[in-house]
Each structure stands twice: as C-alpha cells, then as structure tokens.
A and B are shown apart, each in its own frame.
Chain A
Amino acid sequence: MTKKFLALIPLIISLNSFSAEPSIYLWDNQEGLISATSCEVIPSASTPFKVSRFTGWKKSQTENLRNYAGIKQSHLINGSIVKRITGKQKSNYKKVEVVGVNSNLDVKMNRWFSQRLDQGYLYKNSIFPIEDYIIEVNHKDIVKEQIQKITQKGSSFWLAEAQGSYYNLKCPGRNEDREYTLFRVYEDLEESTEPSAFVGVYWDETKIFSNIKTTSINDLKTNFDTFEKTYDLKGLLADSENTYIENEEILTAVQEIKQSFKKNSFKEVRTMEIKNVEGAFKDIVCVPNTGLNVRDESLGKVIFKAKTGEVVKKFQSFDQSVKELVIDGVIYKFIKVQFSDREESDQSTGWVAKKFIKQKSQCKYVKSNAQINIPTDTEITGIDDEKCCEFPTVKAPTSPYTSGMRKFNARRGGGTRSHAACDLYRYKDEPILSIAPGVVVRDQYYFYQGTYAIEVVHSGGFVARYGELSGKKQRGIAKAAKVKMGQRIGYMGKVNSNCCRPMLHFEIYSGKKTGALSQSGNKYRRRSDLLDPTHYLLKWEAGKF
C-alpha cells in the first residue's frame, strides 16, 4: 500500500495550471469511450503492450515473426504494437500477438507481412517499451460516436502513461478483473498542447489500435515538454463530470432482477416447430437500438452488451434445459451463446434472451446482403484473361499437383470415380488467397472430414470451390463479400483421417452451368462445367514463384 502511495506521489503533485482538465475513459471495442469515475488508478510495474523493432547488424524495416520451431511466419514492420501472450516458452523469444501494424514506414506490403491479430514469436531484444513511442491513432475505422468524446479530428496521438511506473485502471462492476493500461491522448501535437483525455486500454480489447502510425520519441524533431508533465489522476477520476454509466445500468439491471428473479428456474421445452428461413445459416443479435444485455451463468449480472448484427453461435446442452428469468413481469427464455467474432476472450460467451437471437435474414434491423452482385470494377474478363490469376497458396506447393493422387482425374473410390480437383499441399493454417476478383457466393460449410469449403464466383463468371480449409475464419469473408485478387479468404486445413497432408482442394468451373457443384452423372461427381485446373495453376504458379 505504502509503495503504491509513493509511486503516486509524482502524480499527486499535480499541475493545476490548465483550465479544462482531461477526463478519464475506458476503451470498449463495442461502445467506444466509457467514463471511468468509479475506477481506481493503480501503479503497475509492467504493461502487456510493447513495440517491435528489428535487431541486427544490418538495417531492416521489419523483424521476423516466427513459429515455435523458429520458422519465419511473416515480416512485422518496425514500430508495430504487440502484446505479450501466454504460450509455450521459447528461449530468447517472447510469444506475442500483433495489436497494430505501423503504417508510418514506406514499406510495400505483401501477403508475407504480419497483420493485426497474427501470433508468433519475436526475438526478445526486438521488443521495446511502448512509452518510448508516440502512437498516432487513425480514426477511419472507428465509429465517430465512439471517439467524439475526446476529439472530432481524424486522428489522435497516444502515449503510454509511464511517469515512474505504468498505471492501470481497475473498475468495479462487469469487468472488475480487468486492468486497463492508461494512455494519455492528445488531439494534436504542438509544444503547448495538453492531453485531452486519459484512456485505459485492456490488453484483450484493442480495436482502437487497428490503424496506427508510431514514431519513436527520440526521432521527434521537437522536444515536447508536455510528455514530461504529471497529472493528478485520482483527482481527475473524482471529477464530477465523469459518470460511470455502465455501472449504473448494471446496478439497475441487478435491482430489477432481484425483484423478480427465479433463480435457475429450469423448464423443459418440447415444442414441435420448424423455422424456415431464407439465406445462409447465421444467427445474430437482433434488437431495435440500445444493445442486448449479455448475462452471466446465474443470469444475475450483466457482463457486457451486444449490438444488433453481431454473429452468435447458440450452445445446445446435452440435456434440454432452458433458463428463464422474469423481468418486469415478463418471462424471458435465456440461451447461452458464443460471440465468435469478438476478440475479447472474456466477452466470448454469455446468456441472452432467446427472442433477441434471430436468423440474419429474419432480423428487420439489419440490412440484407442476400443479393449477390458481381463487382463491375473487375480487373479481369475471365479465366483466360492474361492478367488472370493469382496462385491460391502463398508459396509453391510442396508436392506436384500434376501427379499422384493429387492430380486432377486421379483414381478415387477404387476406380469408381475421379478426382475433381488439384490438391495443393502446403502447411496447416497457411493463408489461402483468392485467385481473382469476385464475390463469395457460399460461405464456410462442412466439406469433408472436419474441413470446410467456400465458393466464389470470379470476374467473368467462372466459379472456384476452395475446399479442405480449416475452420479459421478470415475477417470480412462472408456471403456476398467482394474479394480482390490475392486477398486472404481462408486458411489451409487438414482432414481428420490423417490420410494426407494439409492441402487446398482446388476446383474450378467455367460458370456455363448453374446448380450445385457436387452432382452425380459423371465420373467426377461434379457439375458438368467442371474444368481441369492443372494448366491454369501451372501458368499462375510460373508467374508467381
């Protein structure tokens, strides 16, 4: 306690010279900035956030992100923000996840460069303290309302609060276990500038850093005195202008629940019902405006809020149990759901009122994207266009797809059928790339032995089925999503039987026919416009590797 107090002394000797005192907020990926009055500021010896830089005898603008075996996975641009994560320990390396890729360097990116959320091992000497960098956060991918409490501008400048030690915010209520690393935020960088706010960022909720430019403070041409100033954070927290809205909401919700809560009232539900829906199978949160309370196992506490359109997967128990909760005299059935698109691990599951989970096509509050349009700004006219196409794996296959059982037309089923694809052997979880511009017409579905497939219609109308993918979802890839040539659309998978190595099972169709790609009637058991992809792949491979 004494140590904590001593560490706070430089902050308590506050500067009272500025008139408009900065407020303190928490960053929430869904809700943006949330006031943090109820929180407590605690000195901390460390922060999970670090910055990467190349270490070596020659100059380089990137450092290698490696896998556990030491094999290079991708190039991480110097100045990128990473966070330390747990994982198998590797001598002289630290396991990290990329939080934000620095776009301040003049580096021509390609598919071998690290992206946000990539994980791997970084050489320990290439990891630098975050407080040595000023981070320009671009707001282009942030909803305006989420950031407008502190600035209306297109970007802001963030500096980790590290006057003698780091500082964390700990807040009561729904996220009491979290420790938010405190940053000071400037609207602009001028010598006389003062921070417009302090913002706590939790290590597992970092969307704010998706689009950044970092600069080493040592490289700044001006000496900014403002970086050295200290602030009475406790005093700022006590500022009456700060109100912790979230907590109030939660308290209200808990009171409501206390009034009429039937603790774990389970009821067996057995109704015979068929719901017919149009469109791909996708359950989403469907509420008119304010967001949906997501509750803990007891239903007694709201743990976070979900927004309309968020994709969920419903849990089914092995025993048909449904929980019920009475709120304001209304009985709500509750189901457990998983928010698979959320990056925050402590917000991935929770209980929600069943009536607010609907199939996407049945939710009137979201815009339907069922209509599939081929993009008109295509760069190729078809599969025979000389600019066509990108080879779908990131490196040349490890085994020839022109021979053995990997080749098109190879014997299958003891000679009863023929192989309808070329199998491109590489390594599990490597990215799979779109061969051409196009539109996803069928999102991930169960393909074969624990692997998945997606179907894309490419410019000019030819169709590709990318089969034997892993379940790992590439962000932005969904039904009706437009894809560019070379864009990541999925990851390489491996079938359950261990019969063969990880591969991309690659099928193409001319597009002259319509209907399901799997059909009977020929030896390939495929639609009759199936093409032999071999010579196309050979051409694209020669142009790439």
Chain B
Amino acid sequence: MKKILFLILVLGGGYYYFTLQEISNNEQNSNQQESHVGKDSNVKTPVAASASIAPGGKIISSGKTSHNHIHQDQSSNTFDVEIVDIPDTNEGESLTSFNEVMSEFASKDLDLERFKETLVAKGLELVVANDKNPYTGNMTIIRTENSLPGTRYFHSQIFYAKDGSPFIQHMSFDYRASEKSFAEAVAAAKKQFKLNATPNVRKEGYYSWNTPDGYLVSVKRMTAEDLKNDPFNAYLKSDVGTIKVTKELEIH
C-alpha cells in the first residue's frame, strides 16, 4: 500500500513538474512575442520546437525543414491556393522562362558563361557586377536591365568555391500581381522545379520548398513591409501584391 502511495506521489510530482515547465516555456515564448502581436496577423501560440502544424491542423515532424526554432504559425486551413494552370499568355511564358533558368542554373555547379548566354538569348540586357575584396572573396551580381513581359528584376548572386568554381547563392525575379498570380507562380514553381505538391512552409502569401540539393524555393506575395528598403529593386506602394519567386541557398 505504501509502495502504491509512493508511486502515486512520484507520478503526481513528475506530472506537476513537467506541467510547470510547459507553462514556464509558454510564458517565456509569449513574452518574447509581445511586441509583435498586432503587427503580424499570422502569429499564433507557438508549438513545440520539434514540430510544426500542417494544413488542416495535423502536426508533422519538421525534421526535413531547416527551421525548427520555436515555431510561429506556418500554416492554416485558409492558406490553400487554388490549383490553376500556368497562363497561356506572354506573362505565363515569361514566368516559365525565368523558372527554367532558375531550375537549370541555380545550383552549386554553375556554368557562368552559359548562364549569361542563356539570359542574353532571351533578349535580356545584363549588368554583371564583380564585387571583390581580399577578406571575403568575390561576389558576382548578375541583374537584368530590362524585363520579359509580366516579369522584372531578375537578380542573381554568385559566390565562388575554394577551387574557384562559381555557385548560386540567390536568384529571384518579380511576377506581376494579379488575382491569380500567386497561384500561377506556385503552379509554375511546382512544375518546373519538380517540387512536391505540399510545400514545407505554407502560409498566406508564402509557399516554400526545401530542395534536395540544399536550396530553398519560395513564392512570396510582397507586402508593403517587404517592398520597403529593398537595396536593389525600386518599388512604389502600388507594387504591393507583386510576386517574388526565389531560389536561394539554405544558409541559415
């Protein structure tokens, strides 16, 4: 009888201890979020560090994603995007065209000359800026000076490995805002980057996929906050809603 009583006390004590820990952690998390409440409507109660919530409320392991910090809301039932076709227009053609370039060249094994030739062959004028310093090496920025219909601001950042071979760290372009442009960009990304139907992160206006070669592909509907202070691209308030398609190294 004493043993049973002892066991109950131990279990009860253990339960009490772990409950307190949980409350303490939650309090700490909500304190840290204090200043962001109201700024970001997507912020909800954090969940445990090792899991994130999939669309529909199902908890999935986030082991495959690189970001398993204290998670904020990454998903919701409302984040599903309509399944659409890539439009059979000049804009759709440009979207496909840039995605093809990114799919082919945004990698750790970049043929720089062929990359430039491919862009030029599409009628694009390029600026190639070689930013050198003796401490952190070279970074080449290749940007287009003109656009393909419905797209603009193609930008790539290239670094160099120890053996001098170039690799893409970041590549992105803008796709004109329209009612379905986010869905179209998602459809094009899935098709041309051969991505899973379910992205690793799915929230309103933002989808991203981790690729097996260590890159992250994302489609983002730009908010006023996103457009503010971009060091390379010029934006006006009327550009809110523009879609940015990016492939970049998982660097974090």
List chain A positions with a Cβ less than 8 A from chain B: 67, 69, 71, 269-281, 313-320, 336-338, 340, 349, 359, 372, 398-399, 404-406, 412-417, 419, 421, 423, 425, 427-428, 441-450, 452, 455, 457, 461, 463, 465, 467-468, 470-473, 479, 495-502, 505, 511, 514-521, 525
- Contact of A471 with B201 in the complex, beta carbons under 8 Å: no
**In contact, A320 and B147 (Cβ under 8 angstroms):** yes
Residues of A contacting B131 in the complex (Cβ-Cβ under 8 angstroms): 279-281, 442, 479
- Report the number of A-B residue pairs with Cβ-Cβ less than 8 Å: 264
30 of the cross-chain contacts (CB-CB < 8 Å) are A272-B123, A273-B120, A273-B126, A273-B145, A275-B125, A275-B128, A279-B132, A280-B131, A281-B129, A315-B234, A319-B150, A340-B234, A372-B133, A441-B133, A444-B231, A445-B141, A446-B248, A448-B251, A450-B220, A450-B226, A457-B136, A461-B135, A468-B252, A479-B133, A501-B32, A514-B136, A514-B137, A516-B159, A516-B160, A519-B161
Closest B residue, CB atoms, query A502: B36
**Chain B residue contacts of A452, Cβ below 8 A:** 231
Given contacts A272-B125, A278-B132, contact A398 B157 (CB under 8 A): no
Please tell me if the beta carbons of A499 and B67 are within 8 angstroms of each other in the complex.
yes
Give Cα A473–Cα B232 distance, bound, in whole angstroms.
Answer: 12
- B143 adjacent to A515 (CB under 8 Å): no
Is B214's CB under 8 angstroms from A413's CB? Answer: yes
Indicate if the CB atoms of B67 and A359 lie closer than 8 Å. no
Contact call A277/B133, Cβ cutoff below 8 A: no
Q: Within the assembled complex, what's the spacing in Å between the Cα atoms of A358 and B65? A: 41
Q: Is the CB–CB distance between B49 and A404 below 8 Å?
A: yes
A520 and B161 contacting across the interface, CB-CB below 8 Å: yes
If A471-B228, A520-B108 touch, does A511 touch B135 (CB 8 Å cutoff)? yes
- What's the nearest-Cβ distance from chain A to residue B211, in Å? 11
Interface centre among B33, B131, B201 (most CB of A within 10 A): B131
Pairwise interchain contact B147-A498, C-beta atoms closer than 8 A? no
With A412-B250, A497-B74 in contact, is A313–B137 under 8 Å at CB?
no
Among the stretches B2-10, B15-23, B202-210, the one at the interface with A is: B202-210
Taking a contact as CB atoms under 8 Å apart, the answer to whether B74 and A498 are in contact is yes
Chain A contacts of B228 at CB under 8 A?
471-472
Chain B residue at smallest Cβ distance from A337:
B234
Contact present for B220 and A316 (CB under 8 Å): no
> Residues of B with Cβ closer than 8 Å to A?
28, 31-33, 35-36, 38-40, 42-43, 49, 63-74, 91, 108, 116, 120-121, 123-139, 141, 143-153, 155, 157, 159-162, 169-170, 172, 174, 176, 201, 203, 206, 208, 210, 214, 216, 218, 220, 226, 228-236, 248-252
Given contacts A498-B74, A514-B135, 7 further A-B contacts (CB under 8 A): A279-B129, A279-B130, A359-B129, A452-B231, A455-B135, A498-B203, A499-B72
Hey, which chain A residues are within 8 Å of B133, CB to CB? 372, 441-442, 457, 479
Nearest neighbor of A312 in chain B, beta-carbon distance: B234
Ranked nearest first, the 4 interchain pairs of A and B with the lowest CB-CB distance are A471-B229, A499-B67, A500-B69, A338-B234
Known contacts: A442-B136, A497-B74. The answer to whether A280 contacts B149 by CB under 8 A is no
A349 contact set on B, CB distance < 8 A: 234, 236
**Smallest CB–CB gap between B242 and chain A, Å?**
9
CB < 8 Å neighbour of A274 from B64, B126, B161: B126
Assess whether A449 is in contact with B139, with CB atoms less than 8 Å apart.
no
Contacts of A461 in B (CB 8 A): 135
- In the complex, the answer to whether A441 meets B135 with C-beta atoms within 8 Å is yes
A496 to B68, CA, bound (A): 14
Tell me if A372 and B126 are in contact (CB < 8 A).
Answer: no
CB contacts (< 8 Å) of B220 on chain A: these are 450, 496
Q: Check A472 against B229 for contact (C-beta < 8 Å).
A: yes
Closest chain B CB from A501 CB (angstroms): 6
For B230, the chain A residues whose CB sits under 8 A away are 313, 471
When the two chains form their complex, are residues A501 and B129 in contact, meaning their CB atoms are under 8 A apart? no
Question: Distance in Å from the Cβ of A231 to the closest Cβ of chain B?
Answer: 42
Q: A319, B149: Cβ atoms under 8 Å?
A: yes
Contact A500 B231 (CB under 8 A): no
Q: Which residue of the partner chain A has the closest CB to B171?
A: A446
Query: Which single residue of chain B is at the shortest CB-CB distance from A453?
Result: B251
State A314–B172 Cα separation when bound (angstroms). Answer: 17
Q: Is B250 in contact with A277, judged by CB distance below 8 angstroms?
A: no
Q: What is the minimal beta-carbon distance from A429 to any residue of chain B, in angstroms?
A: 10
A415 to B61, CA, bound (A): 13
Q: Quick one: which of B121, B129, B150, B248 has the most chain A CB within 10 A?
A: B129
- In the assembled complex, which residues on chain A have CB atoms less than 8 Å from the CB atom of B249? 448, 518, 525
From B137, B141, B146, B231, give the contact of A515 (CB < 8 A). B137
Which of B138, B145, B203, B231 is within 8 Å of A473, CB to CB?
B231
Q: Are B129 and A277 interface neighbours, CB within 8 A? A: yes
Determine whether the beta carbon of B68 is less than 8 Å from that of A405.
yes
Q: Are B149 and A470 in contact (CB under 8 A)?
A: no
- Docked Cα-Cα span, A175 to B210, in Å, equals 51
Whether B128 and A316, one on each chain, are in contact in the complex, defined by CB atoms closer than 8 angstroms, is no
B147 touches A318 (CB 8 A): yes
Chain A residues within an 8 Å CB radius of B226: 450, 496
Alpha-carbon distance between A142 and B104 when the two chains are bound, in angstroms: 52
Q: Please name all residues of chain B whose beta carbon is closer than 8 Å to the beta carbon of A277 when the two chains form the complex.
A: 127-130
If A275-B126, A399-B28 touch, does A498 touch B43 (CB 8 Å cutoff)? yes
Chain A residues contacting B63 (CB-CB under 8 Å) are 414-415
Complex CA gap A319/B148 in Å reads 7
**Given A318-B150, A446-B170, does the pair A405, B69 have CB atoms closer than 8 Å?**
yes
Known A275-B127, A413-B66, A467-B251; judge A405-B49 contact (CB<8 A).
Answer: yes
Taking CB atoms, residues of chain A closer than 8 Å to B169 are 446, 518
Known: A472-B229, A511-B135. A497 touches B201 (CB 8 A): yes
Q: Are A517 and B136 in contact (CB under 8 A)?
A: yes
Contact A446 B157 (CB under 8 A): yes
Which residues of the other chain, A, contact B65 by a CB distance below 8 angstroms? 414, 499
- Assembly CA distance A514 to B218 (angstroms): 31
Question: Are the CB atoms of A398 and B139 closer together than 8 Å?
Answer: no
Pair A500/B70 contact, Cβ less than 8 Å:
yes
Q: Which single residue of chain A is at the shortest CB-CB distance from B121?
A: A272
Partner of B233, one of A67, A313, A517: A313
Chain B: CB-nearest residue to A511 = B135
Q: Give A500 to B74 CA distance when docked, in angstroms.
A: 10
Q: Is the CB of A516 within 8 A of B139?
A: yes
B172 to chain A, nearest CB (A): 7
The 8 Å CB contact of A281, one of B74, B141, B172, B229, is B141
CA distance A448 to B201 in the complex (A): 15
Are B152 and A318 within 8 A (Cβ)? yes
Assess the A498–B40 pair: CB atoms within 8 A.
yes
